[in-house]
Amino acid sequence: MFSLSGDKIRPIVSLDLDGMDDGFFHCKKENCPDPFLFLKKRNELVAYIRIKDLLSKTNKGGKIPVSVIEECSVPLDNIPKLSSSVSIPDIFQIIGEPIAIIKNAEGNYIGYIKREDALAELFKHDGVKSFDLLKIILTSIPMGIFVVDREKNIIQCNDAGLKMIRMKSEDVLGKKAEQIFNGDHINRVFSTGDTILNQIQISDHVGVLVDYSPIIDYNDKVEGIIIIVQDLPMVEEMAMEIEHIKNLNKDLNAILSTIYDEILVVNNKGELIRYSESFIPDFWGVQLKDVLGKNLVELENKGLFKPSVTRLVLEKKKKVSIVQETNSGKKILAVGNPVFDENGEIERIIIASRDITETTKLKTELREMKKITDQYKQELDSFKTKDRLSKKLIYCSSKMERIMDQVMKVSEFSSTVLIYGESGVGKEVIAQAIHQLGKRSNYPFLRLNCGAIPENLLESELFGYVRGSFTGADKNGKVGYFQQADKGILFLDEIGEMPMSLQVKLLRVLQEQEVVPIGSTVPIPIDVQIIAATNRNLEKMVEEGKFREDLYYRLNVIPIRVPPLRERPEDIPLLAFHFLQQFNERYNRNFHLSPDALNLLEVYSWPGNVRELQNVIERLAVSTDNDTIDAKDVDRILSSNIHFKREKPVISRVMPLQEALDYVEEQLILLAMKQYKTTTKAAKALRVSQSSVSRKYQKILKEREKESQLKS
């Protein structure tokens, strides 16, 4: 056993924490003789602090915060305890500690002993057992330990130290310490008693970190040195880890500084603990550094902004995206993401904020621009539709101009339309124009000729039938035209030829907007616009009982009469050139009409209307020998038509006799002037005086010029 004498045990100077005010205590001694001050609470030692640390951190008033004591102190549980009479192994088990607390036999604290005193005492007991115990203790220490006596010889070491310096025990023990370690540091420790820490020693095969600590006896004389060695790779690994953490922190700051959004890091109490360099001007009203450590929820209560994304994340415990609005009218998009600990509790909140005031304004402007763009698109589509129609609808007469104005108006609605006109005037082209110009242009346009399909098949074509309706029917049934044209337009050509039995079913479809297929009793709702066309006088057919009066009035909602070609002779040259151009493009030819040929085409009555004109132009192109089609070619084709010699003027409606005479006279004079060019020849052909033709022709020209001016 190894006993400690009373003079080696230093007395404990303690302070009672129970009576302290405002977290401060006073050191009553400015020059305490003992190097350690012990803190006691409820008669238990809780920690200790070095007197020199205490004095260096004390303010002018001699006060030190408790937090500094806690930071510098060691908890009592980590302070090893010694009895007043202990064995050597018990002493040296605490060699890594700066002090050991001493208890007496009654269990009371009587003092402490310093590590250097214990080692100095050990040097006085040079028995074999003491050194064997010392060797055992040194072997258990992970750091390299070398013990140097007052003659500067290495008298003891451990295996960890030998491995670190790459040497064997026989090469170290008994050798001068200066041969292995830095002689200047060793001499300095012996002469001054200072401790020298963190000295790097590098040789060809060794790299270590060395601490030189003196062993001081009771008379404050240096009895020897403890050299503590740490392997540089271990230290280097720690340094690299610290450097790695520094680099990560640097990278994090660099990332935060380059992010456009304002990034805030908030703790689980709602307090701001970190922020990025990017911040939203005029949002906080102060610098972000002034908000650091403050509770963001409290800032919401002060009316700085609303609502608080921090509060919402803490309440909902999930990601939250909101638009905050400040008193100055700024709109801020804030996204809060919670970070949870291993217990599922919120540990941090990461808030990304962006000023969307301008974005919101731009979005509104973009919405307005989109409306304008859509308007322009509609107008462009309208121009494209008109361009497509212009390739089918060729006209320049005022009568056709009025009809097209009516078509434009009708196309905006879904009203039923009835198109009148002689055969070949282009009733189907008018129906297609209503479809292409209207709101149903993206849906089907179906055409059904009521006079070209037998009565027994017309019903199934219109209304369809279900499976097993009649013998010979498709086993899967058939969808009728009404269902196929849903949301579109169904064009019923030659409506006057529809049988009376089907007129009743058609009337029901127009009234109820639903169809019942043959063989079924289940009505099917439809949304179809009906456009009917006829070259017959339906009013007369109603009077004769050949057409249902109720169906007539249901169809005749929007009547459109297409005039025959003879009533709009000014359209004949345009149509002739158009059909001839189509023929030239189809067959890669270059036919053209002479002026005389055009004159003959204009004076012809065209009972077959536009369809007849198209056929005549194609016949002229095929039969002519030259590229130029002249009057004799036209005369040869038209003279074969009996209508050319026998055709009489046709009046399409009842009018006063004098008005009819004036109309016929005007047409005759215009035709004669186009054909013969001079009033003399025209008068001879009309068998009237030249002066009469000249006077009436001038009157006609003036009236037409006046009409043209009024129109423009």
Give the C-alpha separation, 497 to 547, whole Å. 9
> pLDDT: is 638 or 648 the higher one?
638
> pLDDT: is 639 or 584 the higher one?
584
| Residue 69 binned pLDDT confidence (cut-offs 50, 70, 90) | very low
Give 657's contacts (C-beta < 8 A, 6+ positions apart): none
> pLDDT: is 187 or 39 the higher one?
187
Q: For 169-186, how does the pLDDT look when each residue is reduced to its tens digit (9 = 90+)?
A: 888 988 999 999 999 999
Residue 107: DSSP 8-state: S
CA distances from 632 to 150, 594, 674 (A): 145, 10, 16
CA distances from 539 to 496, 532, 545, 550, 552 (A): 10, 15, 10, 12, 8
Give the C-alpha separation, 626 to 347, whole Å. 96
Contact 498, 452 (CB under 8 A): no
Least confident range from 6-20, 448-462, 503-517: namely: 6-20
User: What number of CA atoms fall less than 13 Å from residue 126's CA on the CB side?
Assistant: 4
| Residue 562 binned pLDDT confidence (cut-offs 50, 70, 90) | very high
Contact 166, 207 (CB under 8 A): no
Give 259's contacts (C-beta < 8 A, 6+ positions apart): 276, 278, 352
Residue 71 above 90 pLDDT? no
SS3 for 626-689, per residue?
Answer: CCEECHHHHHHHHHCCCHHHHCCCCCCCCCCHHHHHHHHHHHHHHHHHHHHCCHHHHHHHHCCC
Q: Which two tokens stand for residue 702?
A: 């003036």
| Residue 227 binned pLDDT confidence (cut-offs 50, 70, 90) | very high
Contact 172, 154 (CB under 8 A): yes
Give the residue-averaged pLDDT of 705-711: 71
Within 10 Å of residue 147's Cβ, how many Cβ atoms? 23
| Residue 153 binned pLDDT confidence (cut-offs 50, 70, 90) | very high
> pLDDT: is 308 or 215 the higher one?
215
> pLDDT: is 134 or 410 the higher one?
410
Residue 354: DSSP 8-state: E
pTM: 0.45
- Element (DSSP H or E) covering residue 455: helix 455-463
Residue 329 above 50 pLDDT? yes
Coil vs helix vs strand at 578 = helix
In the β-sheet with 81-83, what is the strand arrangement from edge to edge?
81-83, 99-103, 109-114
Give the residue-averaged pLDDT of 282-295: 70
Residue 66 above 50 pLDDT? no
Q: Which two tokens stand for residue 559?
A: 């009547």
Q: For 471-523, how does the pLDDT look when each residue is reduced to its tens digit (9 = 90+)?
A: 666 777 889 999 999 999 999 999 999 999 899 999 999 999 999 998 888 99
Within 10 Å of residue 489's Cβ, how many Cβ atoms? 24
Q: Which two tokens stand for residue 204?
A: 């060809």
Residue 59 above 60 pLDDT? no
Give the C-alpha separation, 114 to 95, whole Å. 10
pLDDT at 109: 65
Q: For 400-424, how does the pLDDT look when each residue is reduced to its tens digit (9 = 90+)?
A: 999 999 998 999 899 999 999 999 9
